[in-house]
Amino acid sequence: MVKYDSVRDILKNMPRQLTLRFRLLGFLPLIFFLAQTVHYWRVGGLGNLLWMCNVGNLLLAIGLFFERRELIRAVAIWTIPGLGLWIRYVLYAPFDYEMVFSSILVHVGGIMVGLIALRSVRMDRIAWAYAFAWYLILQLAARFFTSPELNVNVALRIQTGWEQTFSSYWKFWIVMSAVVAAGLWVIGMVLSWVWPSTPRLQNHEPKHFPFSI
């Protein structure tokens, strides 16, 4: 019964009402997402908005506005590998000030808001599964709604540099999905140790830094 209630957790509001100030925090990731939208609208390639970190900021805003803790947790988990991949594949790419500026808002700003939110909503041990399901959904969306040239969420072809390792995309996808699932599980476990979601801690949450329930 406990496991069943946990699975339904995403459909429920948080057990205690968020302060208005905390919920207004959702405007920050919404602004970050809109900054990327304006950038891609101006330069072309709106399909890039379906990258995990871009959509993540939109979902984080929705989670904060409507008190959906599993949305907040799933996005917060993804901000960590998202920041690492951004550093590897964007900061080391040819410099473009406008692109980097909007990306900073999404990746650096997104992880900051996500971790601040976790300070109050905590992390449970099944949130990684929601994060992985969201990854699969966005990969499917990228296959249907983005151009092959963009390869959004590596959903259409083997990531550059791995062509000699894998003979087909689907072999690459199976390995990549297994690695992603394992990585999300590890991150979720670590965050659940730092901010465990337990009835005792939820009922005695300190009223500080800087938002509280």
Angle at 53 between CA 106 and CA 112, to 5 degrees: 50
Say how far residue 116 (Cα) sits from the centre of its chain.
Answer: 14
Length of the chain: 213
Look at residue 23 in the predicted model and tell me its pLDDT: 82
Dist. CA 9–CA 25, nearest whole Å? 22
Q: Would you call 11 exposed, middle or buried from its count of C-beta atoms within 10 A (0-12, 13-18, 19+)?
A: exposed
**Under 8 Å CB-to-CB from 62, ≥6 apart: which residues?**
26, 68, 71
C-beta of residue 123 within 8 angstroms of C-beta of residue 37: no
Look at residue 139 in the predicted model and tell me its pLDDT: 96
Look at residue 22 in the predicted model and tell me its pLDDT: 82
Look at residue 116 in the predicted model and tell me its pLDDT: 94
Look at residue 21 in the predicted model and tell me its pLDDT: 79
Per-residue pLDDT band for 17 (boundaries 50, 70, 90) equals: low
Whether the predicted pLDDT of 10 surpasses 50: no
Whether the predicted pLDDT of 9 surpasses 60: no
Q: How confident is the model over 37-92, as pLDDT tens digits?
A: 999 999 888 999 999 999 999 999 999 999 899 999 999 999 999 999 988 877 77
Q: Which residue has the tokens 């790419």?
A: 93
Look at residue 160 in the predicted model and tell me its pLDDT: 86
Q: How confident is the model over 99-143, as pLDDT tens digits?
A: 578 889 999 999 999 999 998 899 998 999 999 999 999 999 999
Phi, psi of 149 (to 5 degrees): -60, -35
The overall pTM is greater than 0.85: no
